[in-house]
Structure 1
Amino acid sequence: MKKLLSILLSIVVIFALGGCGTKKEAVETDKKIITVGASPVPHKEILEVVKPLLAKEGYTLKIVEFTDYVTPNTALAEKQLDANFFQHVPYLKEFSKEKGLDLDYTVKVHIEPMALYSTKYKKLTDIKDGSSIAIPNDPTNGARALRVLEKAGLLKLKSGDLISKLDITENKKNLKITELEAPQLPRVLKDLDAAVINSNYAMEANLKLTDALAVEAKDSPYANVLAVRKEDKNKPYIKALSKALTSPEVKKFIAEKYKGAVIPAF
């Protein structure tokens, strides 16, 4: 009898534990508070538009603001965030490969044209020999910035995606290319002759795209995306967030708010 009771008790405990695991998994799959890391402009502003759309679906959106290009991905990988919204596809892929992170994206939301700004020069032809021009120091944005300079006719470069200043093949004006942290570029612009700046940092510094000396082509492949852990891509709350970020309401907001400085990618 004691042996039978012991067996029955073990079975009850196993089922109880199994039930707890299933319940925990269900809660994680159907979570109602979504925590997303984002850059202040335009990402956080766009997510504010998404908040009421998600609320209608029963979700609460919590936005955590970041001002760098590293922490949001490490925080996502460490499950401090459910998603992040600040980066384009090439950067996400390169960063994930370099750091060994299992990250991916769900939807492309917008494109932020990179541009060449200057407080000293009004047009490209004013740029003098030996001028100092700064670009972002991360591989993907640095390569992207160099292509902006090439398109403007200031340099010639080797073919390829992840090019650097070492791949310059022609530099008739002997431009001095300096690599700096992307967030620093607007702050040091006055100390340089010009700088190629990411649109989000340019907007934060009240730099207008219409005043830029050169602007990235509108067919840029650098669409900003909603990044998530691969294991979470098909969870209901991520699907709801992805749908809201590519809604007609968001498209209208981007067009009216940024007037071409940010372009919808959907």
Structure 2
Amino acid sequence: MIKKSRNIIIGVIAAIVIIAIAWFSFGKKGDSNQKNHVVTVGIVSESKPKEVIWDHAAALAKKKYGITIKIKNFTDYNQPNKAVKSGDIDLNAFQHYAFLKAWNKANHGGLVAIGRTDINPIRLYSKKYHKLSELPKGATIAVPNDASNESRSLLVLKNAGLISLRKGKALVTVADIVKNPKNIKVKEISADQCGRVINSVDAAVINNDFARPAGLGEKQTIFVEPVNKDSYQWINIIVAKKDQAKNKDYQAVVKCYQTAETKRIQKKYYGNMTRSAWDIKLK
């Protein structure tokens, strides 16, 4: 009788141990995966095209991988990288390689690109003039004041033949203007304000995120940035923390963005203003 009772007790203990092992091996893993299946992506200046693209990516991610994509909109370029680094969001999709490189340098790194999205040739817009040749001497042109976008904008002015820049620098500033035959006045302001001041300046170089909300398009364009082998640094990317670069859920989000349907939506809403960049060949 005693032996039988002892066997029963041993059996009960063994069952409890097996259940406990199963819980820690599968139960907690399941909880962890469930949490990881919600991925928050930060974007800047939410617009109808972006909403449609990310709705498509979210639907595909849910259907194919069981991942819920949540979008968090930011109003300017200063916030999304900080949010990824602090862990407030998982990914962001608003910047190009050059912006990320400059941000990492200024903020002690920590972020990496895990996939490409698109490339958006930026434009010089004007509501006062219809042609580049109409810009008068002493014209005021607004440009974004963050390091990478200011450099890009000055290169636009250079390619437009308005200024010449000092050679051999990765990023240029107004101090690197070496020739300015029209005595162009460059006004440095926040990127999100460039579209808003279009009526008070002669022209402005404006990122696409802010051009559309400002009602600017082909009609107000007086020069378009060329796309060539030098454009690599302007390719837009999806960004994560460095130690999360191989996260399977994050990689799945990239795959759900990089689809033929995304290309179709881009073409529908942006025409030639945007090109998909994950398979682009720059010459």
How much does 1:43 deviate? 4.1
Return the match for 1:54 from 29, 42, 61.
61
Could you give the per-residue CA deviations for residues 3-36 of structure 1, whole angstroms, max 9, x where no partner exists?
A: xxxxxxxxx9xx98xx48x936971597111111
AA paired with 2:163? Answer: L
Q: Secondary structure at the match of 1:73?
A: helix
Matched, 1:23 2:45: no
**Whole-Å separation in 1 of the counterparts to 2:213 and 2:52:** 12
Return the match for 2:149 from 141, 144, 158.
141
Q: Against the structure 1 CA distance between its residues 253 and 238, is the aligned structure 2 distance closer, same or farther, given a 3 Å change threshold?
A: same
CA contact (8 A) 1:88 1:224 kept: yes
Q: Quote the residue 1:129 is aligned against.
A: 137
AA paired with 1:112? Answer: N
Q: Quote the residue 1:9 is aligned against.
A: none
**Whole-Å separation in 1 of the counterparts to 2:91 and 2:163:** 38
CA contact (8 A) 2:144 2:150 kept: yes
Q: Quote the residue 2:163 is aligned against.
A: 155
AA paired with 2:192? Answer: P
Of all paired residues, the percent bearing the same amino acid is 34
Could you give the per-residue CA deviations for residues 130-151 of structure 1, whole angstroms, max 9, x where no partner exists?
A: 1111110001000100011111
Could you give the per-residue CA deviations for residues 111-156 of structure 1, whole angstroms, max 9, x where no partner exists?
A: 1111101111110111111111111000100010001111111011
**Whole-Å separation in 2 of the counterparts to 1:145 and 1:49:** 32
Q: What stretches of structure 2 of length at least 5 have no aligned partner?
A: 1-16, 279-283
**Whole-Å separation in 2 of the counterparts to 1:175 and 1:27:** 57
How much does 1:218 deviate? 2.0
Return the match for 2:39 from 28, 34, 41.
34
CA contact (8 A) 1:30 1:237 kept: no
AA paired with 2:257? Answer: L
Deviates more, 1:45-54 or 1:62-71: 45-54
User: How do residues 149-228 of structure 1 correspond to structure 2 at under 5 angstroms?
Assistant: 149-159=157-167, 160-209=169-218, 211-219=220-228, 220-221=231-232, 222-228=234-240
**Over 6 Å off, 4+ runs:** none
**Whole-Å separation in 1 of the counterparts to 2:223 and 2:258:** 29
Matched, 1:237 2:246: no
TM (norm. structure 2) is 0.83
Matched, 1:102 2:110: yes
Return the match for 1:75 from 78, 83, 94.
83
TM (norm. structure 1) is 0.88
AA paired with 1:103? Answer: L
How much does 1:209 deviate? 3.5
Deviates more, 1:174-183 or 1:247-256: 247-256
Q: What stretches of structure 1 of length at least 5 have no aligned partner?
A: 1-11
AA paired with 1:98? Answer: A
How much does 1:70 deviate? 1.2
Could you give the per-residue CA deviations for residues 163-188 of structure 1, whole angstroms, max 9, x where no partner exists?
A: 00100111001011110000001111
Aligned residues: 252
Could you give the per-residue CA deviations for residues 66-100 of structure 1, whole angstroms, max 9, x where no partner exists?
A: 11101111111011111001111110111012111
How much does 1:208 deviate? 0.5
CA contact (8 A) 1:117 1:195 kept: yes
How much does 1:236 deviate? 1.3
Q: Against the structure 1 CA distance between its residues 186 and 116, is the aligned structure 2 distance closer, same or farther, given a 3 Å change threshold?
A: same
